[in-house]
Homo-oligomer: A and B are copies of this chain.
């Protein structure tokens, strides 16, 4: 608490305005129509302003048994993707009188340990990315209303899920590369266990399986430029015919792959076409600009918050995946 004097309470305001504490609560809680006269209400408001009164949230939360605060559990914020998810969620939340507290999994890769020890705030609900899924047990233990982002709709133990249509995105990537004439593919996969990445692998393999004469190899890498660089370098140094198309699980991996390709003395897209997924700012910062799948992160966050509000009010959350779209840029071309 502040040094020196203590913060004014509703009782202090009441005394200053010459009314009871209950009247202050009524007026400031906007529930005074027909209970307090207008002049008195004004006196209370003036006194509150004068004293710089701020309600004690701990007391209010205790009294009401709810906090109007929700937790957003995300992997580390090393790209703007989850920052935008937060923006969308926070906007919707604010419109409904809720606040959003962010819990970024500390090291980016490892799962969140105990979001409730760290985010000391008491919570009404949780929105969690499947990339931080290990927090799930603690959350379920608390019986908190839960919405999962990009998570297996079947395996989420009844929690509501909000998903991007990643499968469709991967299909579009595959179709685009196939149409260009590519037949030999390398998949640079994120080596984080998460449903969203499983979908990429499954859908890519399934789409290519429909086309006779295609080849698909897969390598894993941690989601970082360094990690992708090393994995791609190793793959390019491997014996055998070089693939002509490199499908990356996200834009950051693609940026790392670019570096490996340059170091190997090859060029994008002449020697190797590359695709990403996310459409971060990074996608247009690298040269050539990256063909990638655009995800609407803000809409994702909005939808997540809407779903959580629905759960909190006992309504069924909206169904259906969020659409994504392929953005074709300079990193893909027909094989030589």
> Which chain A residues in 44-68 approach chain B with CB under 8 Å?
52, 54, 56-59, 61-62, 65-68
Q: How far is the CA of A58 from the CA of B144 in the complex (A)?
A: 16
Confirm or deny: A248 has a beta carbon within 8 angstroms of a beta carbon on chain B: no
Chain B residues with CB under 8 A of A285: 225, 255-256, 258-259, 282, 285-286
Q: A77-B80, A259-B285, A286-B287 are in contact. List 17 more A-B contacts (CB 8 A).
A: A7-B143, A58-B59, A58-B61, A58-B62, A58-B67, A62-B62, A77-B77, A94-B117, A99-B121, A100-B118, A101-B120, A119-B121, A224-B281, A225-B285, A255-B285, A256-B285, A282-B285
- Asked if B67 and A120 make an inter-chain contact with CB atoms under 8 angstroms apart, the answer reads yes
Most B C-beta atoms less than 10 A away, residue of A65, A143, A224, A285: A285
Residue of B nearest to A72 (CB): B102
9 A-B pairs within 8 Å (CB atoms) are namely A1-B65, A3-B314, A54-B116, A58-B59, A69-B120, A83-B104, A98-B120, A258-B285, A286-B287
Chain B residues with CB under 8 A of A62: 56, 58-59, 62
Given A56-B122, A83-B77: A281 in contact with B259 (beta carbons within 8 A): no
Q: Given B2, B107, B258, which contacts A87 in the complex, CB threshold below 8 Å?
A: B107
Chain B residues with CB under 8 A of A93: 118
Q: Given B1, B78, B118, which contacts A99 in the complex, CB threshold below 8 Å?
A: B118
> Which chain A residues in 262-296 approach chain B with CB under 8 Å?
262, 281-282, 284-287
Chain B residues with CB under 8 A of A59: 58, 62
Q: How far is the CA of A118 from the CA of B57 in the complex (A)?
A: 12
Chain B residues with CB under 8 A of A142: 2, 54
Q: How far is the CA of A66 from the CA of B285 in the complex (A)?
A: 45
Chain B residues with CB under 8 A of A24: none
- Asked if A77 and B86 make an inter-chain contact with CB atoms under 8 angstroms apart, the answer reads yes
Q: A77 → chain B, closest Cβ, in Å? A: 4
Confirm or deny: A91 has a beta carbon within 8 angstroms of a beta carbon on chain B: yes
